Amino acid sequence: MLAMSVVPLLALVGSSIDMGRAYLVESRLQQACDAGVLGARKELGAIVDFDPDIDGAAVISKGTHFFNANFADGIYNSVDRDFVMTLEDDQSVGGIASVILPTDIMQFFGKDEIAISVNCRAELSVPNTDIMMALDVTGSMAESNPDDTSPKIAVLKSVVKGFYATMEANRQPQSRIRYGFVPYSTNVNVGGLLKDEWVVPQWRYPSRTLVSTSGSGGLYGYYSAVSPVSGTYYTTTSTFAATEAGGGYTCSAPANTLTTSTQLLSTTTAQVSNPSGTRTTYTYNRTRNGNTYSVSRSGSTCTLSTTTYASYVDTFKYITEPSLASGSSWLYKDVLKDTSDWRTASNGCIEERSTYEIDDYDNVDLDRALDLDIDTVPTAGAPDTQWRPMYPAMIYERARLWDGSGSFTTSEVTTNSEFLAPGIAGFAACPTSARKLQVWDQSAFHGYIDGLVAAGSTYHDIGMIWAARLLSPSGIFAAENADVSTRQRTSRHLIFLTDGQTSSLDISYSSYGVEPIAQRRWHPSSPLTLTQTIEKRFSFVCEEVKKRNVTVWFVAFGTDLNPIMTDCAGSGHYFSAKNAEELQNAFRKIARSIGDLRLAQ
């Protein structure tokens, strides 16, 4: 009986031993299979414009390398190791791994080997994600980069639409992606996002009142700011040896080849008062082709700057209107205005809330610099905490004349002279209205992006301030920006795109008023320039938003990256794109980084 029981006992023990080995091999094989497809999918994601016919072999090779490193040939005495990967149409990577495991004990009972096979799959998916885009829509965005035929604003629109398509294609059915936008230039248009109690009931604006009876003293005329329309305009530099003559050096520039043609597009009239009469606006297109040259010398080296115009078209206006007659005058001063009509009468852009001129950016007092506080909710009856609507039509810049002469003053001025009006001259740009974070369908997304218009100067700080406010999970929209799932936290990203360095104009009507007159954060005798002030505030707010667990991405399009930009984004999160293709590649890399590489089975 004992002899008869040994055989089944050996079969039982042997099967346990061999099956235990088989389970161990299967587990290790699954791990190797997972490593292989994950490695292959990561390699695929790093290839721009992936073509399976061209790049497929490299992806398969990378995945096979990871598989082999995790499951060596012959491990556990296995044989016939095999690993096959497939690249799916949705850019996921599937895999099947198999080996044959010879048995140690079961072979004596007719079972020589055990076939083991596992499946694996890796895909790029997007979890709950909030993406806020601060988009430079300054006037230079209407120009073209040297390598492109389309204006930068057109390239931007196309690339952002492609980014949306990529993100949505990889979004999981149960996840949420929201997008928000802050188009910025000299100002931001956020009025439509504010509650009534967040806006001051009244505010003082640099304006004017008529002192005596109005009578016309003839017409005066002035030009508006120039707005780019189309074509290419860029500057390149080169060096050459100076000519030595008479003990010195001289540099000669080539003759200019620029040709200019001007076309009157329209003439419009409007009745005005104080003094009464007719304002006539002539709108012109100017087309330029060819080169202009300028040259400078340093020692025996000449530097030649070549500005190239290729069918470059811009538009400008010449405006005439009645001037005051002798004996009449204007009192230029700060005028208190009831702002209760701001939703219908203002332009949607805002002046920032109270602040101070900061001399130590390592120790900013946010109780005073409320413009840099991205979270505090305004309090009704506390005007320092509230925003102020912009009324460009009533703004006059005492005592700067239309021809550029005159000096700014904070004092009141009585005169019959006409001071610069930034709203008429084109120095009060108000971009397309900003949008809070929301889920978009493709039609609405495309419609909004198509509505972006290029105008104004480059004030990076106001773009960063409002992108941070609209994205912050603990700020004025905290209830809307909270995580929707305790199990899967929201991933937050701020994409900042610009085509230029900070470019401030003291004659602009900006989010801090007419700065030489308002002097809220800067004045003409400040130790920092206005440009430096803007950049310091930009950097401070960038660090503030990162404290909210927000990832910042910076894209310089057709301009150089500077330390302000790279320090803001941090290593691996900034890109320089000199043309449309490189901009598209940058946004693809951002999309891949935002996505979550994971195992699907």
* Tens digits of residue pLDDT in 45-104: 667 667 888 888 999 999 999 999 999 999 988 999 999 999 987 678 999 999 999 987
Of 273, 292, 323, the one marking the end of a domain is 323
Q: What is the spatial order of strands in the sheet that 79-87 belongs to?
A: 79-87, 93-102, 113-125, 596-599
- Tokens matching residue 238: 């080169």
> What are the residues facing 599 on neighbouring strands?
122
Which of 270, 377, 259 is CA-nearest to residue 320?
270
* Residues 340 and 277 reside in one and the same domain: no
Instruction: Tell whether 250 and 317 lie within a shared domain.
Output: yes
What is residue 105's three-state secondary structure? coil
Residue 598 tokens, joined: 């994971």
Encoded tokens for 450: 């198509």
- First-to-last alpha carbon distance for the chain, in angstroms, is 50
Please tell me the predicted confidence (pLDDT) of residue 35.
92
> Which pTM was predicted?
0.78
225 & 247 share domain: yes
Predicted local confidence at residue 5, as pLDDT: 47
How far apart CA 266 and CA 383 sit, in angstroms, is 43
Do both 411 and 543 map to the same domain? yes
Within-domain flag for 210:
no
The total of structural domains in the chain comes to: 3
272 plus 387 within the same structural domain = no
Q: Could you tell me the residue range of the domain that residue 309 belongs to?
A: 218-323
pLDDT at 126: 72
Residues 276 and 169 in one domain: no
The DSSP output letter for 213 is -
Domain boundary pick from 94, 123, 152: 123
543-549: long-range contacts, CB 8 A cutoff, minimum separation 24: 543/568, 544/372, 544/374, 544/468, 545/374, 545/464, 545/467, 545/468, 545/471, 545/472, 545/494, 548/468, 548/471, 548/472, 548/473, 548/474, 548/492, 549/473, 549/492
What residues in the chain have per-residue pLDDT under 70?
A: 1-16, 45-46, 48-49, 90, 107-110, 125, 214, 486-487, 596-601
Asked whether residue 176 falls in the same domain as residue 313, the answer is no
194 within some domain:
yes
Looking at the fold, whether 495 and 583 belong to one and the same domain comes out as: yes
Contacts of the segment 293-298: beta carbons below 8 A, 24+ positions apart: 293/253, 293/254, 293/255, 293/256, 294/253, 295/251, 295/252, 295/253, 296/251, 297/242, 297/249, 297/250, 297/251
Rounded distance, CA 17 to CA 28, Å?
17
Same domain, 154 and 222: no
Same domain assignment for residues 384 and 434? yes
In angstroms, rounded to a whole number, what is the distance separating the alpha carbons of residues 184 and 456? Answer: 9
